[in-house]
Structure 1
Amino acid sequence: MTEPGLFELEAVVVGQPKRSQWRRYVGPALAVSTVEGTPLARVTHTDDTHSLLTKTSGEFIVRIKRRSRFGQFGPVRFHFTDAADQEVGTACARGLVKTRQLGVQTEQGRQLLLTRRGHLSDEWRLTESDPEGGPAPEILGRVSVSTIDTWLGLQQYVVETDPRLDVSERRTIVASVVCLHLLRRPPGDSAAPA
């Protein structure tokens, strides 16, 4: 029996790998693993605008490109491309608190929202419509963040998705969680997360 693929799992963990405060860290920026801790993939930043999601074997999964027209004050858009350089999804954040809501578009064009209820909330809900725009929408997933090392401020995101989401939609959601982390803690920034 073979292990399920990374995007066939309904729950994965995206987090900053633990590191020593005494030595310079040279590993990946983020690691993707099963809830039990089995490594599946890693994220590396090639510069402040490009990140790569690869399997632990080194096989390329998706490239994440960050674009922002007006610096930190304007909207930030992330484009996801596959090995053939085809766009397989996007994520967009607007407003002054860009980590409150992330608009996500999947490869098939499905529009989703990752929204947290308040600035201090540690959970984002995945829905097809804005939770504040009327009746409570159906929840298609959750992203919960926690601090795994208070001294270094290392973050971990547990990503739970509905069984009805397909593999390509889960790929977009995992890439969006990477974007969420980049918005909260940009590459090279040691400030506390937003």
Structure 2
Amino acid sequence: MTEPDLFALEAVVVGQPKRSMWRRYTGPLLAVSTVEGTPLAQVKDINHQHFFLTRTSGEFILRIEKRSWYEPLQQFGPVRFHFADRADREVGTAAARGLVKSRQLTLRTEGGRRLLLTRRGQLSAEWHLTEPDPAGGPAPEILGRVTVSSIDSWTGLQQYDVEMTHHLDASERQTVIASVVCLHLVRRPPGEGSTVV
């Protein structure tokens, strides 16, 4: 049976893999699967600055590089993520600003399309994917949704259900899925325990 094309799907699940509380976890940071649970890809944390998205076969898909203006005080300044393909060519970006960086991510796709991933409210577990309107806010048409839930209240593991419309092409879906990884990183920085913003 052939593996589904990750960027052809309109819905995927990005989540933290289950782990034992009693042993040191050494697996991937995040796993990407179909809604039915078929594994598609995984995200490996290389050094808290570089993250690799690979297929379950191990084939490299994307490198996500995290950049912030001053690393020791990164929670106070903007953070930017750059996505690069296997030829080290930039294929998209995501950026977050403010003290609560998970309120909104500004995305730029490989084709130059600008998108916003915006939280509906301060305590909301849902983000809407839209294009910015000329006034600077999100446009009314929703191109996708990201809904977060806890899959293990004891260890605080998170799962992101990602839904995208047919108005996005494969390269734009690639940027959206990479931005969900970034959303997880600004909500739950590596090594920060169960911190959630």
**Counterparts of residues 123-134 of structure 1 (less than 5 Å):** 123-129=126-132
Q: Percent of counterpart pairs with the same letter?
A: 71
Question: Does the Cα contact within 8 Å between 1:153 and 1:192 map onto a contact in 2?
Answer: no
Secondary structure at the aligned position of 2:166 is classed as coil
Deviation at 1:57, TM superposition (A): 0.3
Per-residue Cα deviation, 1:117-142 (whole angstroms, up to 9, x for no partner): 22210000000026x96785100000
1:21-48 Cα distance to aligned partner (Å, 9 max, x none): 1122111010000000000000000011
Quote the residue 1:146 is aligned against: 149
Aligned residues: 193
Contact 1:92 1:103 in 2 (8 A): yes
**Aligned Cα RMSD in Å?**
1.6
Change (3 A) 1:3 1:55: closer
Structure 2: which 5+ residue stretches go unaligned?
A: none
Q: Which of the numbers 57, 82, 87 marks the counterpart of 2:85?
A: 82
Gaps of 5+ in 1: none
Contact conserved, 2:130 with 2:139, CA < 8 A, in 1?
A: no
- The one-letter code sitting in structure 2 at the alignment partner of 1:176 is S
Aligned equivalents of 1:8 and 1:107: distance in 2? 16
- Counterpart of 2:179? 176
2:132 and 2:138 in contact (8 A); partners too:
no
Aligned residue in 2 for 1:193: 196
Q: Report how far residue 66 of structure 1 moved.
A: 0.4
Deviation at 1:191, TM superposition (A): 2.9
TM-score (norm 1): 0.95
Report the equivalent of 1:48.
48
Give matches, 1:15-54, under 5 Å: 15-54=15-54
**1:99 match: secondary structure:** helix
- In structure 1, the residue matched to 2:63 is 63
